[in-house]
């Protein structure tokens, strides 16, 4: 239902390391791997996930609003915890809420 049943509200672009982790290792998308945010969306909205070369690689449910992702993108967990509320996680999209599109 994530892949085809929910309307997407925006998107994110992830770096090559995050792309490798998502496509080949089944990992969650962490803030440190996000390089760009497209559109305005809220926590719980479905996002498109793009590679650096603009290829759609996944869709998933965001743990953050677009504004919050702008604040934490590119930062590791320790940096996020030191700058923001300690309850904030670093997983932008958890792997359990992510549908990957492989070639």
Confidence at 1, pLDDT banded by 50, 70, 90: very low
User: Considering the domain boundaries, does residue 69 fall inside one?
Assistant: yes
Is residue 3 one of the residues assigned to a domain? no
Q: Which domain holds residue 54?
A: 8-100
Rounded to whole angstroms, what are the CA distances from 99 to 18, 22, 23, 77, 90? Answer: 15, 10, 10, 23, 19
Average pLDDT over residues 17-27: 97
Q: What would the mean pLDDT of 71-82 be, rounded to a whole number?
A: 90
Single pTM value for the model? 0.89
How many folded domains does the chain comprise? Answer: 1
On the 0-12 / 13-18 / 19+ scale of CB atoms within 10 A, 79 is middle
Average pLDDT over residues 27-53: 97
Residue 61 lies in a domain: yes
Answer yes or no: is 2 within a domain. no
Find the CATH number of the domain harbouring 37: 2.30.130.10
């Amino acid at each position: 239902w994530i892949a085809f049943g929910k309307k997407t509200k925006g998107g994110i672009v992830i770096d090559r390391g995050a792309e490798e982790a998502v496509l080949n290792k089944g990992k969650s998308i962490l803030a440190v791997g996000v390089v760009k945010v497209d559109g305005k969306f809220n926590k719980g909205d479905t996002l498109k996930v793009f590679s650096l070369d603009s290829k759609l690689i996944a869709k998933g449910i965001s743990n953050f609003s677009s504004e919050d992702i702008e604040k934490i993108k590119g930062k590791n967990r320790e940096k996020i915890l030191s700058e923001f509320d300690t309850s904030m996680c670093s997983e932008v999209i958890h792997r359990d809420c992510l549908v990957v599109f492989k070639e």
